[in-house]
Structure formats: C-alpha cells, structure tokens
Structure 1
Amino acid sequence: MAQVVERLLETTVEQLRIFQKLKVITEHEAKQISRKRRSLERNLLQRETTPKHYFRYLQYEHNVQLLLKRRVKKLDRKDVTSIDKTRLRRALFQQDSRVMFLFNRASRKFPMDWTVWKNYLKYCLQTNSSRLASRVLGRALARLPNLEELWLIAISFEFDHRKNMRAARVIAQRALRQLENSQLLWKEYFRIELYYLCRQLFQRQYLGLPIPEREKVENSQSFTELNHRDTVCSQEVSDDHIPLQDSDMEEDNEDNQLLLDEELDLVYRDISQHSSISHDSTKGSDQNQTISISVSFWEGCTVLLILKHILQKWETDDHFLASLVQLVMETPFSPQVLKNEIRSLIFSKLRTYENCRLALVKGWFQSDSNSLSSFQCNELLDQLKEIVRDIPTRDVLNRCCEVMDSLSMKEELKQSFLNWVSKLDRSLIEDSHTLIKTIQSESLDSLITTWQHIKDEKERKNMECFIIDRLEQEVFDSKDANVDNKKALLSIQFLNGEMGTLASLNNLECLERIRKLYDRILHLCPMNVSVIRIAIHVEERQNHDKQSIHRLRKLFDAWCEVEGSVCIDCWLQYITFERKCSGPHRVTQLYWKAMKMLQNKAEFMERFSLLQHQLQG
C-alpha cells in the first residue's frame, strides 16, 4: 500500500516545489499538504472505501486549489518573470487536472452511484469544461441508462447550455426509446422542439426574412420500417459508451448561421419518421396506420406530432396535457397555426377536461396583449360560459373567476358573468353538490369499495382524489394524540396499491405518505407489531437504496426488540435481508444475537440451516 501511495504522490512533488520556490506556499505548508494527501490516499486504498472518502479528498483538493489561485493573484507582478508565470500556470493546471483525476477515479470505483456522477458534472460545469462534461454525461448514461434525471440533465445541457439542437434531439429520442413511459422526458422533448421552432421564427423575424411556405408533408412510414430503423440505430451505438455530439464542429453552430430551408425540411422528415406510432388497439391491417400531420415545419408540425403521440399514451391525464398546452401558449413566437391546431384538438377530444380548457383560455388571451379590448373581453366571457356549460361544477366556477382576475378584467364584466351564473339552470351543479355531500357522509371503507367498482377512468380518478383528501384530513393531518389504527392500516393498504392501482399519485408520493403515516404511529406507539410488519412489507417492495435500507434496519431492530425472544420469523427475515444487502459479517452478528435472545434455540438453528441451504442452492 505504501508503494502505491508514494507512486500516486510523485507527480505532486514538482508542483509543490514550484509553489514553494516562488513563495506561494511555505515549506511547512508544503509538508502539511503532502502529509494530508498521504493520509487521504491511504483511506482510498482501504477495503471498505465509500464515496464519502473520495468526497472528503476532493473537498480538500478543491480548497487547496482555491487557496493557490488566491495567493498567485496577490503576487507582485514586477518580481515575477515570464518564465515563472508559465511555471505557475502549469502548476495551477496540474492542480485542476488532479481534481479531475480524483473524480475519474471515484466514477470508476463507484460507477452505479448517482451522487458521484452528479458532483462530477457539477464541477465540470463550474470550471466551464463543456467537452469533459459531455464525455462524463456519455459515460454516466452508459452506466445508468434507466435514470430519468440523468437523461433530463443531458438534454438540457446540450440544448440550453451548448445550444446544440441536433445533439439534444438525438439524446431525447434515445431517452424515449429507453424510457418510453416517462412523462418528464416527453415533456422535455416537447419543450426543446417548441423552443427550437420559436427561436428559428424569431431569428427570421429579426433579420427581416420571410417565413417560407413549405409543402405539406405527411408521414407514411410503416411500423415495421420504424422498428427496423430503430434496431439499426441501436446496433450502431455500443452498450458501454453513449457518445454525445460535440458542438465545436462548424455544422452545429446554429446561433452563428442561418439554417437552410432544405435542411430544416430534412430535419422535419427525420423527426416524423422517428415519431411515427402505430395504434395499439388494432392489429393486422391496421398495424401500419400512423399519425398524419398536415402542417409544415414552420407551422409547428413537429410539436404537433409529439403532442398527438403523447395524447395516445396519456389521454386521461388532464394535468399533464394542461401543462403542455400552457407551455405552448406562454412561449413567445409560437406559431398561430399551432395554437389553432391545439385548440381544435382540445375541443374535439378533450372538451371535458377543465385544466386543458382553462389553460387554453388563459394562455390564448395572455399571448395577445396585456390589456384586453372590449371584443376580447366578450370573447373570453363566451368561452368561460361554454366551459361552465360543459363542466358544471363549483370548482370550475371558482377557477373561471381566478382566470378573470389574472387577466385583470373589469369588475363590471366579472359581475355580469356572476349574474349569468346565478340565472343559469343550476340543476347539474346542485346535483353534483348534493353528491359531494352524500359522499362526505360515507365512511372510508365504503368509499374505497365504490372506488374499486367504478369503471369510468375520469370518475374513478376524481373519487380517488377525494379519498386521498379524506385521508389527509382524518389520518395524516389529525391533531389528536392518538391515531385510529384501523383507518391508518386501511390508508396504508390503499396507498400501497393493494386495493387497486392509483392514477393521481406516483409511486414516490405514495411511499412518502406511507412513511409519514407509519412513522407517526410508531412514534406514538413503538410496540405496535402489526404496523411494524406492514412497514417492513412496504419498504421491501421498494428499490434497496440507502434510505430504504436504513429504514428497514430500524424496523427490524424494533421488531426484534419486541418479539425477539419468542418469534423466530423476525430473525430469519432480518438475516435474509442482511444477506442480500451487507454480507456474511452482519449475518453472523445477527445469528449470535438471536441465539442470546431466543428461548427455543434448537428450532432456530434448524430453520437457520434450512434457510442457508435454500439460499446456497
């Protein structure tokens, strides 16, 4: 170990001598730096090395780097010759490369740790090392291809930081082939295509160039051709490395040159071919049926194509579709044809979706001008009245008033709208209000039972949101000293998906609510074995990350403390868990701890040997 440490520190000796000779650091400081580096290197060569050891070493090297740069700036420039300045620059560069070297070692030692890659990327961006950040992103994506956050960072880095639309588009399409059910990735792909189109339109308007009238292009590629093309593309890219494109090439400097119309047309054709989707509900001859867009590139055909693709996958997700509509309406220089197409799409397919309708109305009038004219105010009132007729609920009425307030509408017009609402036939609204009253009087058991038998997706989702609100009021936000265990266990089973899949919450939100609930129950009653077992069951269904492993150990310790002298199952489950996560050392400790606490040691030894035989077999 000592020879390896000395070999790694040989490169820093000459660097410290240069700084010491030019009086940047003293002899005592140089010895102190070498001593500290030697101890940190020894920690990295230990068997039980963790990312914290690397981060501690990196933090120290970064502090040394900042100190050296600060002292070099304070040197008297008259006494320093040009040769000494060159040596100082080289020595500072060696210090920068040393930090990069440590990050590279940490990423090779822990290739599946996301925190290492995140800090590596953060440091590359802080030091303006775009090329190195691109390589690091490629290596990270090769190791963690199922990490949604990493794909989002890569797309944003290429599009927002390097202004390289081609590389961002390639990464976005590759991410969607890997994680095709990710809403965040689809929204990011939608965003970059929309911003790219608006940027090209702004560029032409600023230069005084006309918008070209391109021929309408339709996508007619079949589903089999698309699969063949995807397999060819996937064969060209190796599994170990996913290269990101370099923006230093002349063809990628899109901000410095004006793209040709023919090139943009080819871009659109390529996007259309990659985004063609067959209808899953049909087979046989209908399998070659694909989406057809009848607008040109400059009118937003690519954005509309992605939106229709998203609509096929998440047609019932009102909030997600409303966020896309709001993005189009609030982006400057969005084509008017694209807005009209989205408006017709909403009125034809999403007429009963209140979030999409309200986002469309609000964005439509906000994009026109800051102050509304009398004609626009009347048109706005007509559209809000139409929304109230289609969706007669009190929540929609309140949100329509909020839209009028956000658009700074006059009080006279707002009062006229409220008068119209008061004269409206309120039978449907009153029926919905009485339905809410009857639902509120029912118990949680009956509500969940009725929720399980609802077949309509929209109605099922509304009932689900109402049940979650009831859980928030009665269980989570209850100020009582005690918690009703029956309702608590029922809510855990409901949120855990044991009574049916949830649509309004994702898995992470459900898990956080469940953890909040059983933490509160165990804080009030730490000896509740039934809650401990349910908590262990919930945590074992999750991915074994650091947080879930820490929670499982605390729960198993609590279970063994309560029933450790009688129950053999708690020890066997604990041993099985530790065998998967830590190793044989921890299993041996638990075995002897169980032998001290259990009363029936013979049965435990027999069942432990059977468990060992099953796991080895």
Structure 2
Amino acid sequence: MAEFVQRHVERIIPELEQMERIGLFTRGEIKKIIRKRRAMEYRLQSRLKTKENYLKYIQYEIKLLSLIRKRREKMNCFYKKKEIDNAIAVRITKLFKAAIYRFQSDVKLWLSHIEFCKRMKWNFSISGMFSRMLQVHNKNPAIWLSAAKWELEENNAPENARSLLQRAIRFHPDVQLLWQEYYRMELMYTDQIRKRREILGVKDTSDVKDAVFQGKIAMVVFNQATETIPDVEFALSFLPICCEFDFTEEHENQIINHVQSRHVDKEIVWHVMAKRILEKKKVSSHVDESLPKHKAAKQLETEAFSIYEKGLQNIHTKKMWSLYLQTALERLQKSKSEKSLKKKIGKIFELMKRASEEDLLAQDLYLEWARLLNTFDKVEEAKELSIRVAQKWSTNTDVWLFCIQLHVQSKTVKETVSTLFNDAIKKVPDKDALPIWKLGVEWTTVACPEKLKDLLENGIGVNCPVISLPMKELYLEIVSLKDGIASARCLYGRLKNIRPLSLGFFRKMISIENAQLKPPIKHLRTYFEDALLDFGEIDVDLWIDYIRLELSHAKGKPENCGKIYWRAVKKLTPEKADDFVNQFTMLQTGHDISQPEYAD
C-alpha cells in the first residue's frame, strides 16, 4: 500500500514545485498539501473503499483548484496553467471515474462528474459520459431527458438529441413526459431555424417546404404519442407546449381536431374548446374585428357558452355541468360594469337552476349558488337552498356548517338555528361532527347563554371520544372564564371520573390554574398526579413538567425531584425512559428552555 501511495505522491511533485516557484503557495502550504493528499491516498488504497473517501478527496481538489484561480486573479499571474490547473482538473476527473467504476448505481455521482466537466468546458467528453451513464441507468427517464437537453441546448446537436429521445421512448413507451419533451424538442429546433433565418434577414418563408421548418416532425411525434397512449388528457397536455411558440396555431388546431374526432364523449374536450375561444380571440372566425372591445368579448363569451351547450347535448353529466358553471363563474369575476354583472349573474342562476332540476349540480356548486344568492340580497332564497342542500347531503359536515352559519349571519330566529343544529348532530356521523358542536357552543354562548351548560353536558356525554374529549376541555375553559377558578376546580373533580380522558384535559386544567395570580402548588400537584395515573407510562414531557414545577414554583420542593425521577424511570416504557433520562440530565445541567416562573 505504501509503495502505491508514495508513487502517487511523487507524481504530483513537479506540479507542486511549479506552484511554489511562481508564488501561488508558500513552502509551508505545499507541505500541508502533500500531507493532505498522502492521507487521502492512504484512505483510497485501504481494503474497504468507501464513496465518502472519494468524495472528500474530490471536494478537497476542487477547493484547491478554486483557491489557485483566486490567487492567480489577485496576483495577475497566469503562468503554467497547463502544468498546474489542468493537472489538478485531470486528477479530479480520474477520481470521479474511479468512484463511478465502484459505485455505478449512484446517479448523483455521475451527474456531479458531468457538472464538473461543464464548469471546465470539456464539452467534448460530456456526450460520451452521458452515453456510458445511460448504459447503466437506461431505466431512468430523467437521465434520458437530461442527455437530450444537453445535446440540443448546449452541444447544439439536435440530431443527437432526437436520437436519444427516440431510444428513450423505445425503452419507455408509456412515459408521457418523454413524448411531451420529444415534441417540445422538435418545436424548439424549428424555432431555432426560424430565428436563424430572421437574423439572416430572410423574411419570406412561404416557399419553404422543409418538414422541420414547418413543424411537421413535431406533429408526427404527437400522432405517434397519442397512438401509443390513447388518453384524452395526455393528448390535451400538448396544447400548453404549443402555446410556448408563436408559429404553432396550426398545431393547436390539429390537436383539437384530433381529440374531437376520437374523444367527443369526454367532457374535458368541450371544456378546452370553449376555453380556447375565451383565452385566444384569434381562434374565433365569427368575431367582427370592427366591434368595440367589450362587445367582441361578449360575442366570444356567447360563442364559448354555445360550445358548452353542444357538449351537454352529447354528454349529459354532472362533470359537464360543473365545467360549464366554473367557466361562467370565472367570467363573472371579470365583469367591469354593473349591467354586465347583473346579466352574468342572471345567466348563472339560470344554469344552476337547470342543472339542479336535472339533479346534475355538484355539492360545491350548490353552496356557491347559495353564496351568490346571499351576496345579491336574496337571503331567504339562499337560506331555503342551504336547507335543501343540507337535506340532500345530510351526512356532510361542511354543508351543515355552511347552512348554520348562513342562518346565524342573517339573524334567523333562535328556534330555527337550534333546530338546524340538532338536525346536524343527529345526521352527521359523530366522528365528523366536532366542528358542528364547536359552532353550536359559539352561537349558544352569544345567543342563548342559559342553554350553554345543557349543550356542554350533552357534548361530554356523547359516546364518541372525538367529541367528548375536546368538549371536556372546552367545558373547563368556559366555566373558568364565566364562573371562576373555584367552579372550574369543582367541574374538574367531576369530569375526571368520567372516562375516557385525554392528556389535553389535564393540561387544560393546569394552564387554567397557572393563569391565576398566585397558582397554588397543592392543586397543580394534584393535576399532575391525576394525569400521571393515565399517561405516566407514555408521556415524557409530563414527568419533566412536574419536575420543572417543583424547581420553579416559589413553594416547590426541589428535594422531591429525585423521587419523581425514580418514579418516572420505573413507570415509563424502556424507550421513553431513555428519552426522559436525557431530558432530565439537560434540565439538571441548565440546558433547559426557558419556562414562565410561578408566582409566589
């Protein structure tokens, strides 16, 4: 091993002598470099070669090369670059190759080597490196794309890029991204040719019949892609790619014609056709260019809506209605005058009524309908509609919340709101009903405070921990605020005997007690002891907080900490006990996060 290391060190001596001779490094620095490289070489010559050792050596050499460049610029000294800088760069490449040979499965290692070559501007070697990498990682589509992108954008070799993507598709014919990027690459190549002609001053392109120049190869790619993957959304995904270029209007029309002929039974096709009219005026041949801007926009909107109507004649589904109404709602937001706003809202109400009568209106659109009615001063209609929706989706939490909130905001009589709340908690499954209970508590606190206690009692009595446990905590908080700490302590004494209990229940009572001006340690100890009976085996923080109480409270007894410590070690599970010991040690050594002090 030593002979190999010595041989490698001797090879770098001429390079180091040149560094010292031209003043890049002092003799002392050269000795440090030799020691560092010798240590690195010994690690690489060991029997167990690790990737980390290679990476450390590579990183050291890259930093050294960067330091040399900085010193050259500072000294304005650029002699012997081939003997020094290039020699180090070649050594880094050899290290990369050695590491890659041993750890070929590491994609990052390959890419790091390629990135280094890019920085060195060794473009002549990158294509070969990508080729070797793909021999090992041909199942990774992202690497094929990276290689093709390099060939097209940086190596200016579109034929190589095309060849790579064709090979990638043979390996992965079902990967949509490969087809999309292949299509984009052909359009980019066409765009480059067009721009090159513009730079050369050739403006007349009417006589150019070249297939690449006209973008026909891209359309061949699209046709092959859609034959391989006959999915409508995949076919439509090529439209945004077309929009990136200014010569692809014909491509867009061909894509639309393609999906129309093959997927006329898909809602998304009609939606895209209508949206194109609204987003690109040039695709509509029926708009009079002499019309004022607002009238032209109205005509386009009418034309787009007529496409949705045709779609409904072919596909009578809830999704079709949803897409139609979503577009109508988007157009509503773009209204610029009150007159236009009224017409559009009237149109939306009409459409929603039609969809509702056919039982094809989605739940979210029902709620949007009610919101719009409420916004445009049709409050009673909105409330009636919200009740209908709640009855239709009687187990949905969001629907009931919307309905109740709408009635509360419109100051409906208390009896009606109370009835709605009772209906909601009966029909919504208990596991989903907690938001409704909380809303009921908020409303009752303001509107019917005399019924609040009964509501809370009903909440803690529900045979579902998802509701009963949070309601206990809420009950404690409300009683402490309304009736004082004494009533809260009394309630705590009763509720702690009603199972199940949560850790949050005990912590809520501890926080309520700590909110007092002088929290008595007697009660705080009681709460901690009660909590430890149920959660002492699993909760480390509870034991730590108990110890912290004895240390920080004005009437605490630090001598009790030892007893609490041994109790914790015995009761906690082995894994939790180790965590507790670590936290306790940090607490004892003063590395604890700051906690509020207890009053005297």
Alignment pair present for 1:139 and 2:132: yes
The residue that corresponds to 1:211 in the other structure is: 205
Shift of 1:100: 1.6
Q: Return the TM-score normalized by structure 1.
A: 0.52
Following superposition of structure 1 onto structure 2, how do residues 44-83 of structure 1 map, counting pairs within 5 Å?
A: 44-75=44-75, 77=76
Q: In the TM superposition, what whole-angstrom CA distance separates every residue of 1:406-456 from its partner, at most 9, and x where no partner exists?
A: 9x67456566444323223325763353799989969xxxxxxxxxxxxxx
The residue that corresponds to 2:296 in the other structure is: 375
Shift of 1:110: 1.9
Alignment pair present for 1:390 and 2:277: no
What CA distance in whole angstroms lies between the structure 1 residues aligned with 2:341 and 2:238? 28
What CA distance in whole angstroms lies between the structure 1 residues aligned with 2:357 and 2:46? 72
Shift of 1:161: 2.0
Determine if contact 2:277/2:300 at 8 Å carries over to the other structure: no
The residue that corresponds to 1:419 in the other structure is: 346
What CA distance in whole angstroms lies between the structure 2 residues aligned with 1:61 and 1:169? 36
What CA distance in whole angstroms lies between the structure 1 residues aligned with 2:71 and 2:465? 60
What CA distance in whole angstroms lies between the structure 2 residues aligned with 1:188 and 1:34? 48
Q: In the TM superposition, what whole-angstrom CA distance separates every residue of 1:539-572 from its partner, at most 9, and x where no partner exists?
A: xxxxxxxxxxxxxxxxxxxxxx99xxxxxxxxxx
Q: In the TM superposition, what whole-angstrom CA distance separates every residue of 1:295-342 from its partner, at most 9, and x where no partner exists?
A: xx61x4322222222222333352x333211211x2232233222222
Q: Return the TM-score normalized by structure 2.
A: 0.53
What CA distance in whole angstroms lies between the structure 1 residues aligned with 2:168 and 2:394? 44
Closer, same or farther: CA 357–176 of 1 in aligned 2, 3 Å: same
Picking from 106, 109, 117, the partner of 2:99 is 106
The residue that corresponds to 2:457 in the other structure is: none
The residue that corresponds to 1:325 in the other structure is: 239
What CA distance in whole angstroms lies between the structure 1 residues aligned with 2:67 and 2:36? 15
Determine if contact 2:267/2:311 at 8 Å carries over to the other structure: no
Larger RCO: Structure 1 or Structure 2 (Cα < 8 Å, ≥ 6 residues apart)? Answer: 1
Shift of 1:145: 1.3
The residue that corresponds to 1:182 in the other structure is: 175
Shift of 1:167: 1.4
The residue that corresponds to 1:233 in the other structure is: none
What CA distance in whole angstroms lies between the structure 2 residues aligned with 1:375 and 1:88? 67
The residue that corresponds to 2:28 in the other structure is: 28
Determine if contact 2:179/2:225 at 8 Å carries over to the other structure: yes
Following superposition of structure 1 onto structure 2, how do residues 200-349 of structure 1 map, counting pairs within 5 Å?
A: 200-204=193-197, 207-213=201-207, 264-265=210-211, 298=214, 300-316=215-231, 318=233, 320-328=234-242, 330-349=243-262
From the CA coordinates, give the structure whose radius of gyration is larger: 2
What CA distance in whole angstroms lies between the structure 2 residues aligned with 1:211 and 1:39? 65
Determine if contact 2:148/2:165 at 8 Å carries over to the other structure: yes
Name the amino acid aligned to 1:383.
Answer: A
What CA distance in whole angstroms lies between the structure 1 residues aligned with 2:146 and 2:301? 39
Determine if contact 2:277/2:304 at 8 Å carries over to the other structure: no
Shift of 1:70: 0.9
The residue that corresponds to 1:153 in the other structure is: 146
The residue that corresponds to 1:41 in the other structure is: 41
The residue that corresponds to 2:586 in the other structure is: none
Determine if contact 2:173/2:228 at 8 Å carries over to the other structure: no
Shift of 1:59: 0.9
What CA distance in whole angstroms lies between the structure 2 residues aligned with 1:397 and 1:355? 10
What CA distance in whole angstroms lies between the structure 1 residues aligned with 2:156 and 2:102? 32
Shift of 1:154: 0.6
Q: In the TM superposition, what whole-angstrom CA distance separates every residue of 1:491-535 from its partner, at most 9, and x where no partner exists?
A: xxxxxxxxxxxxxxxxxxxxxxxxxxxxxxxxx9x99xxxxxxxx
Secondary structure at the aligned position of 1:39 is classed as helix
Closer, same or farther: CA 64–103 of 1 in aligned 2, 3 Å: same
Picking from 86, 90, 94, the partner of 1:97 is 90
Shift of 1:107: 1.7
Name the amino acid aligned to 2:349.
Answer: S
Shift of 1:56: 1.3
Determine if contact 2:235/2:255 at 8 Å carries over to the other structure: no
What CA distance in whole angstroms lies between the structure 2 residues aligned with 1:413 and 1:343? 31
Shift of 1:173: 0.7
Name the amino acid aligned to 2:240.
Answer: Q
Determine if contact 1:43/1:53 at 8 Å carries over to the other structure: yes
The residue that corresponds to 1:130 in the other structure is: 123
Shift of 1:49: 2.3
Q: In the TM superposition, what whole-angstrom CA distance separates every residue of 1:24-79 from its partner, at most 9, and x where no partner exists?
A: 1111211111111122122223333232221111111111111111112222x5xx
Closer, same or farther: CA 209–365 of 1 in aligned 2, 3 Å: farther
What CA distance in whole angstroms lies between the structure 2 residues aligned with 1:100 and 1:405? 61
Shift of 1:169: 0.8
Determine if contact 2:51/2:103 at 8 Å carries over to the other structure: yes
Determine if contact 1:16/1:30 at 8 Å carries over to the other structure: yes
Q: In the TM superposition, what whole-angstrom CA distance separates every residue of 1:231-282 from its partner, at most 9, and x where no partner exists?
A: xxxxxxxxxxxxxxxxxxxxxxxxxxxxxx5xx44xx6xxxxxxxxxxxxxx
Q: In the TM superposition, what whole-angstrom CA distance separates every residue of 1:148-172 from its partner, at most 9, and x where no partner exists?
A: 1110101111122223221111111
Determine if contact 2:43/2:49 at 8 Å carries over to the other structure: yes
Closer, same or farther: CA 192–24 of 1 in aligned 2, 3 Å: same
Determine if contact 2:270/2:307 at 8 Å carries over to the other structure: no
The residue that corresponds to 2:327 in the other structure is: 400
Picking from 102, 117, 120, the partner of 2:113 is 120
Q: In the TM superposition, what whole-angstrom CA distance separates every residue of 1:84-106 from its partner, at most 9, and x where no partner exists?
A: x4324531121222222211221
Determine if contact 1:151/1:172 at 8 Å carries over to the other structure: yes
Identity of aligned residues (%): 19
Secondary structure at the aligned position of 1:312 is classed as helix
Name the amino acid aligned to 1:433.
Answer: A
Name the amino acid aligned to 1:150.
Answer: I
Secondary structure at the aligned position of 2:104 is classed as coil
What CA distance in whole angstroms lies between the structure 2 residues aligned with 1:34 and 1:388? 80
What CA distance in whole angstroms lies between the structure 1 residues aligned with 2:154 and 2:15? 34
* Count of aligned residue pairs for this structure pair: 365
Q: In the TM superposition, what whole-angstrom CA distance separates every residue of 1:211-231 from its partner, at most 9, and x where no partner exists?
A: 2457xxxxxxxxxxxxxxxxx
Closer, same or farther: CA 203–89 of 1 in aligned 2, 3 Å: closer
Alignment pair present for 1:6 and 2:6: yes
Which is worse superposed, 427-436 or 14-23? 427-436
Name the amino acid aligned to 2:92.
Answer: V
What CA distance in whole angstroms lies between the structure 1 residues aligned with 2:127 and 2:105? 18
Determine if contact 1:362/1:403 at 8 Å carries over to the other structure: no
What CA distance in whole angstroms lies between the structure 2 residues aligned with 1:70 and 1:202? 39
What CA distance in whole angstroms lies between the structure 1 residues aligned with 2:191 and 2:270? 23
What CA distance in whole angstroms lies between the structure 1 residues aligned with 2:465 and 2:112? 43
Q: In the TM superposition, what whole-angstrom CA distance separates every residue of 1:460-494 from its partner, at most 9, and x where no partner exists?
A: xxxxxxxxxxxxx99xxxxx999xxxxxxxxxxxx
Closer, same or farther: CA 421–171 of 1 in aligned 2, 3 Å: same
Closer, same or farther: CA 344–55 of 1 in aligned 2, 3 Å: same
Determine if contact 1:43/1:49 at 8 Å carries over to the other structure: yes
Determine if contact 1:404/1:414 at 8 Å carries over to the other structure: no
Name the amino acid aligned to 2:218.
Answer: V
Shift of 1:355: 4.7
The residue that corresponds to 1:431 in the other structure is: 360
What CA distance in whole angstroms lies between the structure 2 residues aligned with 1:374 and 1:203? 40
Secondary structure at the aligned position of 1:86 is classed as coil
What CA distance in whole angstroms lies between the structure 1 residues aligned with 2:160 and 2:103? 27
